[in-house]
Amino acid sequence: MAKKLVLAVFFGIYDGHGGSKAAEFVAENLHKNMFQKLENRLENIAKQDAIREAYLKTDKEFLKLGVSSGACCVTALVEGKELFISNVGDCRAVICRGGWAKALTKDHRAAEVDERTRIEKNGGYVELHRGAWRVHGVLSVSKSIGDAHLNDWVLAEPDTRILALTPDMEYLVLASDGLWEEVGNQEAIDIVKWSCLAGKKPGHKGESETGKVNDDEFGCISTSPSPRLRKVLLVKHKKRSY
């Protein structure tokens, strides 16, 4: 019996802290682990388990390297008519439906009551340091990949949300806290919408920061109306059939 091929599209944002090693490792390996784990997973609950296993496997593999850095991440897997959104840390996914922004993920921060309670139940503590609540006074996020020195409390266990794709879903924004600390969810969506509409105007082509046109790499790129976010990029995504 011939194996049915399923086309899946993967997007990921990885935000490193304590160095770039964790983010680089996750960018290189998480999608590979996820596609591997998704093989022969047919039901949504099984696919959700596969995503969880991929996050945990990536974390375990990175910890074996003995590097102390960590990374927050948010991923989106589009398979058929379904969207799987997962995250650890404060990278966030925001969707536009009918022109309105809606967060699809929860920020995992030490300041959140439920995260603080979980950490304390496991023998850790959260304290205020340099203006922010931090795990053991060090890390403001309560979930990540890596961070070996806090691995008993800062987990790589992702939250995953499954949505059926519908015609009113217009845009999906994945970004790190570097964006969300500067712009709100609705403003980010408005910027993307404005930029993509501008990119569709006759004669407009995407340009890199050096001014070079690169139609293969960028779906749309344009000057933003926001003084806090000058450009919006839609980068080439990873595709694979399995």
Distance between CA 199 and CA 218 in Å, rounded? 11
Q: What percent of the chain has pLDDT over 70?
A: 79
Enter the CATH code of domain 7-107+143-178+236-241. Answer: 3.60.40.10
pLDDT tens per residue, range 47-89: 999 999 999 999 999 999 999 999 999 999 999 899 999 999 9
**pLDDT value of position 193:** 85
Phi and psi of 137, rounded to 5°? 70, 10
Greatest pairwise CA separation for the chain in angstroms: 61
- pLDDT of residue 20 exceeding 70, the answer is yes
Q: What is the pTM of this model?
A: 0.81
Domain extents in the chain: 7-107+143-178+236-241, 109-142
Per-residue pLDDT band at 144 (split at 50, 70, 90) = very high
Per-residue pLDDT band at 28 (split at 50, 70, 90) = very high
**pLDDT value of position 199:** 62
Distance between CA 87 and CA 33 in Å, rounded? 15
Beta strands in the chain (DSSP E): 7-17, 70-79, 82-88, 92-97, 100-103, 126-129, 132-135, 145-146, 159-164, 169-175, 218-226, 229-235, 238-241
Phi and psi of 3, rounded to 5°? -80, 130
pLDDT tens per residue, range 183-225: 999 999 998 888 777 765 544 444 444 444 344 333 444 344 4
Contact 129, 137 (CB under 8 A): yes
Per-residue pLDDT band at 166 (split at 50, 70, 90) = very high
